[in-house]
Amino acid sequence: MSESRQQLLDQLLDLERRAESIRARLGGDSDDSSSDHRRSFDPHSLAVVQRYVLDTLSEAILIADAQGRVIDANYTARQTFDFSRSRYGTLTVDETLGEILSTVGDDWVDQVRRRKTIHFEGIVEVGSARFEAEVLVVAVEELMLPSIIVAIRNVSAQKRAERENDRLIARLKAKHEELEAFTYRVSHDLKTPLLSIAGFSKLLRKDLVKLIGQLADGRETIDPGFAGSLLESRSVNRGNESDDGDDSSVRFVVRPDRQRSDLEQILADQADYIHELQTAAAKAQMLVDQLLDLARVGQATLRMERISVRDLVRLSLNAHFPEIQAAGIIVRQDDDLGHAWGDFEQLGSVFDNLIANAIRYLERVPNPKLQIEYRRERRRDVWSIVDNGPGIPPEHRDKVFEPFVRFDRKRKGSGIGLALVRRIVELHGGEVWIDEPSGGVGTKVCLTLARQP
């Protein structure tokens, strides 16, 4: 038996106990001290008290005869189903509850006689209004005329709370799974530039050791502090000390001229290694910065205001003008881009990430085009960033908003931008998805945001 059903039964039993208590007080003690009390509770008074008790229940109570005709109802039932006492005897339970009884069947009266109680749930419609309800039907045969009591509880608020709870649990589970995947991906993606730094550092050190041993001009000097720091502070003394005894520099034995080309190659390689080190370090720094941005999104306090989306788009296009010009991208915008309700800085990050992502995939596309669109629907506003780039396969569209997901490793980017977009949009009560572009060419990213309350 469900908790709600038990509560309904408990209330009906409580009503019965209260009525029995009143009857006992009327017909119980016979001493003179209770005579005035008994006279004050005549049958009419008892009926008034019972009616008061019935009308204070928050549940709608219908009392029907054996044929299912309503012969009495409490105040909540009359208000909920909009009928008056004049309908008693002609109004039926079927008319009152409508389609919800179809979950039980047309023979519900016979069923309740056999089973004594029936419990079911469904949608009750009254005019244009509708609500979720739990219904308990009880057969009462102890009376002179067998009756049926129907208790209807409006559980819309409870069901909404349950659905919200289920939604939050599902979201928490998804976030947990996302966190596990995120941990793996960040470990993998940060490992690559760090391995590059370690590998090229090793090569650089090896060549510096070789360089110190092959410096050709006997009168050339090298700072021992510099060499020592690279060679773990080992003293380097491969030639004669200076005549004046100054050992602040180290002199080297002259090497054959044929080794000069080797030295030049070593120096060129070192320049390449340093470039790779700087690139790897910059990538690692970018990953760390974007990880911090992603972590900060959920913790930041949103400063909500009415924002012109055209302003957000203009700022992003201006910031990326050099790339747009270099790639020859044709940019078009709808005349009206509408307004959004949100945090200016965070929504700016949303549009900037989407526009930057589109530009990145248009760099090697002939006749590249970027379109920013807006449409106002009855219940939501929709913005779209459309490009005619290589597009995203349908089977991958649900994954592109996950952290560190990248389908083209040759292009720049960390795979965090779209994850950041989704998190910000969700914090603003909206959603973001990949739609099919017209003509089936390119990518169309759509997003909605909650409207101003």
3-state secondary structure of 436: coil
Hey, what amino acid is at 429? Answer: G
The answer to whether 49 touches 22, Cβ cutoff 8 Å, is yes
The whole-number average pLDDT for the span 440-447 is: 91
Burial class (CB within 10 angstroms; exposed 0-12, middle 13-18, buried 19+) of 10: exposed
Out of 87-101, 328-342, 357-371, which region has the weakest mean confidence (pLDDT)? 87-101
Q: Show the beta-strand stretches assigned E in 276-403.
A: 304-308, 330-333, 339-343, 369-376, 381-387
Please report the pLDDT score of residue 395 as a whole number. Answer: 82
Structural tokens at position 419: 């994850």
Contacts of 224-231 with CB under 8 Å at 24 or more apart are 224/248, 224/249, 224/250, 230/205, 231/205
Alpha helices per DSSP H over 215-259:
224-230
Task: Tell whether the model's pLDDT for residue 75 goes beyond 50.
Answer: yes
The answer to whether 149 touches 63, Cβ cutoff 8 Å, is yes
Please report the pLDDT score of residue 384 as a whole number. Answer: 96
Please report the pLDDT score of residue 342 as a whole number. Answer: 93
Task: Tell whether the model's pLDDT for residue 313 goes beyond 50.
Answer: yes
Mean pLDDT of the chain: 76
119, β-bridge pairs: 136
Residue 325 CA to residue 328 CA, distance in Å, equals: 5
3-state secondary structure of 132: strand
The whole-number average pLDDT for the span 209-217 is: 59
Task: Provide the phi-psi class of 415: left if phi over 0, else alpha when psi is between -120 and 50, else beta.
Answer: left
Q: How confident is the model at residue 26 (pLDDT cuts 50, 70, 90)?
A: very low
Highest averaged pLDDT of the listed ranges 21-25, 96-100, 148-152, 191-195: 148-152
Match 């000097």 to its residue by tokens: 221
Q: First vs last Cα of the chain: how many Å apart? A: 41
- Give residues with Cβ within 8 angstroms of 243, minimum separation 6: none
Task: Tell whether the model's pLDDT for residue 406 goes beyond 80.
Answer: no
Please report the pLDDT score of residue 96 as a whole number. Answer: 86
The whole-number average pLDDT for the span 223-236 is: 41
Out of 186-195, 251-260, 274-283, 318-327, which region has the weakest mean confidence (pLDDT)? 251-260
Please report the pLDDT score of residue 188 as a whole number. Answer: 66
Out of 62-66, 255-259, 267-271, which region has the weakest mean confidence (pLDDT)? 255-259
The H or E element that residue 448 is part of is strand 443-449
Q: How confident is the model at residue 192 (pLDDT cuts 50, 70, 90)?
A: confident
151, β-bridge pairs: 61, 136
Task: Provide the phi-psi class of 424: left if phi over 0, else alpha when psi is between -120 and 50, else beta.
Answer: alpha
The more confident residue out of 336 and 52 is 336
Report percent pLDDT > 70 for the chain.
67
Highest averaged pLDDT of the listed ranges 31-40, 170-179, 285-294, 347-356: 347-356
Please report the pLDDT score of residue 449 as a whole number. Answer: 94
149, β-bridge pairs: 63, 138
Q: In what order do the strands lie in the sheet with 129-140?
A: 70-73, 60-64, 147-154, 129-140, 117-126
List the one residue out of 401, 371, 399 whose CA is nearest residue 385: 371
The conformation of residue 390, written as its DSSP 8-state character, comes to S
Please report the pLDDT score of residue 205 as a whole number. Answer: 73
- Tell me how far CA of residue 113 lies from CA of 50, 101, 140, in angstroms: 25, 16, 9
Task: Tell whether the model's pLDDT for residue 29 goes beyond 60.
Answer: no
Please report the pLDDT score of residue 398 as a whole number. Answer: 80
Q: What is the pLDDT of residues 127-137, one digit of tens each?
A: 778 899 999 98
pTM: 0.46
Q: What is the pLDDT of residues 370-395, one digit of tens each?
A: 999 999 988 899 999 999 998 888 88
Q: How confident is the model at residue 352 (pLDDT cuts 50, 70, 90)?
A: very high
